Amino acid sequence: MAAYSEAAEDVRTRAEQILLDALSLEKGKGLLGALRKPHLKHSETVELAICDALAKVGGPDSILPLRKLEATQAGLLSERAAAAADAILRRTEMPTARE
């Protein structure tokens, strides 16, 4: 049973990393890209789904990226990122202080 638990944790950790990679901001290419503000890699609908998934499988490593997304985006995406970070904090019983 311990092997199953360990394998499940590995899968959760890998899933979390894939979701965080997909959530990261992307810089444009070339000289002009370096001057532009970083932007999301995916549509807002996909970003919302990533936030929802991280709320379910994310751990402490997901909180800071979600808080950054909350601070840099507006509207529903900001709200969903905040809700996901709060859900992780509740699930992992971490203090609720925002960074």
Instruction: Reduce the secondary structure of 7-39 to three states and give it as a string.
Output: HHHHHHHHHHHHHHHHHCEECCCHHHHHHCCCE
Please say if the pLDDT value at position 2 is more than 80.
no
The answer to the question of residue 27 being in a domain is yes
pTM above 0.95, yes or no: no
- What is the span of the domain harbouring residue 8? 2-92
The answer to the question of residue 78 being in a domain is yes
The total domain count for the chain is 1
The answer to the question of residue 97 being in a domain is no
pLDDT tens digits for range 63-91: 999 999 999 888 999 999 999 999 999 98
Mean of per-residue pLDDT scores for the chain = 80
Length reported for the chain? 99
Structure tokens at 39: 């932007």
The answer to the question of residue 99 being in a domain is no
32: confidence class by pLDDT, cuts 50, 70, 90? low
> Where is average pLDDT lowest: 22-26, 30-34, 39-43?
30-34
The answer to the question of residue 36 being in a domain is yes
CB-based contact 16:54 (threshold 8 Å)? yes
Please say if the pLDDT value at position 26 is more than 80.
no
30: confidence class by pLDDT, cuts 50, 70, 90? low
- Quote the pLDDT of residue 42: 77
The answer to the question of residue 98 being in a domain is no
